[in-house]
Amino acid sequence: MIMYYPLKFLKIKKVEIIMAKLDLGPLGIVEIGRRSFKANLNISSEALFGKYSNLTSDLSTDSVNIIRDSIDKGTEERIRGSTSSEISDYFEKIKSLQGKLGFGADERKEYAEAQDYKRKQMDSGKMAYESDEIQTIDRDSGKKEGVIKLTPGKKEGKLVPVKILENSKIYLEHDGTDAAEESVTSGMFSIENVSTKDRLWDIDLSLKNIDSTDFEEEAISIYELAPGEKEEKTYEVKEKAARHIDVSEFISTLNDPDTESYSLVLDADNEIYYSIIVTNITDVKLENIEVTKLIPDLFERAKVLRSSSGKADEGNFDEGRGVKWVLEELKPNAEEKLELKLEVKVKDKDTKVRSGKIFVKYNAPITLSGLGIDKFDAYTNNSFYEGFYETDERPDKYECQFVFENKSEYLLRLVNADVYDVKNPSVKYVDIDPGEVPPLPEGAKWKSNIWEYQSEPGQEPVFMTKVQFFVIADHMVSTEGLMEINDVELAVASIAGELSYDEKELASFRESTFHVNMKVENTGGADLNEVILTENIQDGFRPPETSDVVVTYNGDEIEVDTIIVNRDGVTVELKDLKEKPLGAFKPGDIIQVTYPIVADKPNKTVIYTSDVLYQANTYPAGKALEVRPAVIEIPVIHVRKRLIRGKEIIGLAATGEYEIILYVVNTGDYVLRNFEVADKVPENFEYSGLSLEPVEVTKKEGLDVLKWKIEKIESGDRFEIKYKLSGTGKPSDAQESM
């Protein structure tokens, strides 16, 4: 804030201008002619009109519109008539208020420094002065240039609270992506006069990073605020807000800090390891961080293993039962870790087990939208003056001193004070630069060194004084952040497996083939991403060819990427199912594998013993599910067959009808298994009334061949197959058997 104190006002002489440039110092430049006007200013029209409202009120509507359009649009505007002189007078007056002795080329650096101080703020209005009198030093010469006199007992001044407070609620999925529920961020901007007696006026404030909000202008100008008065504005954040904090959760249903997994084993005591890492992804310190990890009802025996910082306790909180982890602060780009252990037992595969949501609260000294305060300055009660003391011995010889006094409750920053000889502007008696005078508390005075001045006989000294100061603000920019992170479903995984062979016994010293049938069913409530079926084949038995291994999925034959066949056995691997067209192995689905095994002439002491393992896993992989079907033994029997196989034909009462009896008598000591019986029927006969349906009927020239397969015939038993034969041919043609 700049204020001028001339002891004699300079008259402004009206001149006719033909597109003349008018330098307004830090405001910029305007070009004014008879028929055109162009402004190149560092201030918006609204801010300009507000700053010089007493001058603007004298302008005509046409002049206001021309100035506004040129400033805001950056265009050269046409003017005519008296409008030209009116606009010229307006900016000449502004230039005079700026001061002929404004920042010149040699003072641009000081002007920039003064602007930088408008960007600075304080968090406390209390100054750490060691005494009530403090010398100030000229930074160029290193010599004393004045002194601060404090009012006894007063080392404080109020700050203007300029607040930007944002409230956010961010909803995330467990993997950090946006949840379906829309995140919300809103804000409140306010500035308040907290003094009990002092007005604030000519308040100029500029914001930064407004594009993500519904603020239309960066510049905010407030004419004045009475004691206790507040200006505030709510705003919305238009763009997606950036996060201040990252939260990641690691879950291991294996209770292994190095292995992430989400699957629970049915009817087992599952110990689950959790770790939660919070990371400050900003360059500022976050405070009052609260992380609440909810514990679902099914879980028992929650235990805090350790935390890298802060304090964590189990209890019932506003969010529900859980563990609350409190951190007083989280330094820039730092991370902290909490480790927990929980237990859960699931008895029903259809039970839905959730991992538990995470809620996060925190405070940040920055906004999510990026909105911030660029510059602030305001004016309040003050006083500055020159004192003149004519010496006793030498008339017209004066001792002079400049004084600036803070007559307000606020803390003031004096950034510039210049006192010039009005007749010789090159002579400067006081020259305060930005940063040379510390902030002035309530009632404080800054007094310059005394200088001598020889005036004209009978005349008092005449000086031009320029003062720049402003009230110091407290930039209270903060975010009250809330994050809600969804949990995940922990998979209740289970499988069942069966195994069967199509032979109960194997013949000794003979090469024979039997078939394997493996069956795996997803009996849990979770999709499975991996299924592996393995059979180890013992010595003396040959595994199949890879092409003989058949895999079916819910009854349909499928192709499998990995089938491993070697001398030791067979392994069928179905991996990464969720990434393949087949999809995950879902609850209720069945996978079957069949293939032949050749018994390579085993001796009569051998027993084939099954060695089969089924494995499955979820995504991400958890504790592998394993099932070993009941062991099946196939003994090798030293079988030497002894049997009678015969055929009887019995004529019936009706002409052309006969009863056929095929029989097998096991006269040996061992069971006959899978014994085949065949018979042929001449084409001029019909057969009916079969006691056992044939497994195969083959037509050959002049006859039908019927085949049966008898599963077993115990030692000493007779097995019969009967059917009726009828026709007009020769019965003797049916006498032959196969």
The pLDDT tens digits of the residues spanning 419-460 come to 988 777 778 899 998 999 999 999 999 999 999 998 888 888
Residue 98: band (very low, low, confident or very high) from pLDDT cuts 50, 70, 90: low
Q: Which of 254, 246, 301, 304 is nearest to 275 (CA)?
A: 304
Mean pLDDT for 197-208 is: 90
Of 38, 34, 56, 58, give the one whose Cα is nearest residue 47. 56
Tens-digit pLDDT profile for residues 473-522: 999 999 999 999 999 888 788 889 999 999 988 888 889 999 999 999 99
Helix axes 83-98, 61-73, angle to 10 degrees: 70
Give the model confidence (pLDDT) of 575-631 as tens digits.
999 999 889 999 999 999 999 999 999 998 899 999 999 999 887 776 778 899 999
- Confidence category of residue 101, pLDDT binned at 50, 70, 90: very low
What percent of the chain has a predicted confidence (pLDDT) above 70?
93
| Distance separating alpha carbons of residues 554 and 557, to the nearest angstrom | 8
pLDDT band at 734 (very low <50, low <70, confident <90, very high): low
pLDDT at 32: 84
Q: Which residues contact 389 (CB under 8 A, 6 or more apart)?
A: 398, 399, 400
Q: Judge contact between 337 and 277, C-beta under 8 A.
A: yes
Give per-residue burial for 184-197: e unless 16+ CB within 10 Å, then b. Answer: ebebebebbbbbee
d(CA 324, CA 558): 51
Closest residue by Cα to residue 243 from 367, 390, 383: 367
Q: Which pLDDT value is given to residue 229?
A: 95
Predicted confidence (pLDDT) per residue in 225-249, tens digit: 999 999 999 998 887 767 899 999 9
- The Cα 339–Cα 307 span in angstroms is 6
Under 8 Å between Cβ of 54 and 43:
no
Read off the pLDDT band of 261 (50, 70, 90): confident
Specify the range with the lowest mean pLDDT, choosing from 93-102, 318-327, 369-378, 628-637.
93-102
Residue range 635-641: mean pLDDT, rounded = 79
Number of DSSP helices (H) and strands (E) in the chain, helices first: 5, 53
Are the C-beta atoms of residues 540 and 623 closer than 8 Å to each other? no
Residue 43 in contact with residue 91, Cβ under 8 Å?
A: no
Give the containing element (helix H, strand E) for 91.
helix 83-98
Alpha-helical runs (H) found in 306-369: none
What is the rounded CA–CA span in Å between residue 112 and residue 730?
A: 129
Tokens representing 421 are: 């000889």
Structure tokens at 71: 């400033």
Q: What is the pLDDT of residue 466?
A: 84
| C-beta separation of 341 from 303 below 8 A | yes
Query: Which domains, from first to last, does the chain contain?
Result: 2-100 (no CATH), 116-157+378-472 (no CATH), 161-240 (no CATH), 245-365 (2.60.40.1170), 494-637 (2.60.40.740), 643-734 (2.60.40.1170)
pLDDT at 281 over 60: yes
* Confidence at residue 34, expressed as pLDDT on a 0 to 100 scale: 65
Q: Percent of the chain beyond pLDDT 90?
A: 49
pLDDT of residue 38: 92
What is the structure's pLDDT at 590? 96
Confidence at 639, pLDDT banded by 50, 70, 90: low
The answer to whether 499 and 631 have CB atoms below 8 angstroms apart is no
Residue 531 reports pLDDT greater than 80: yes
Beta-bridge partners for 706: 679, 697
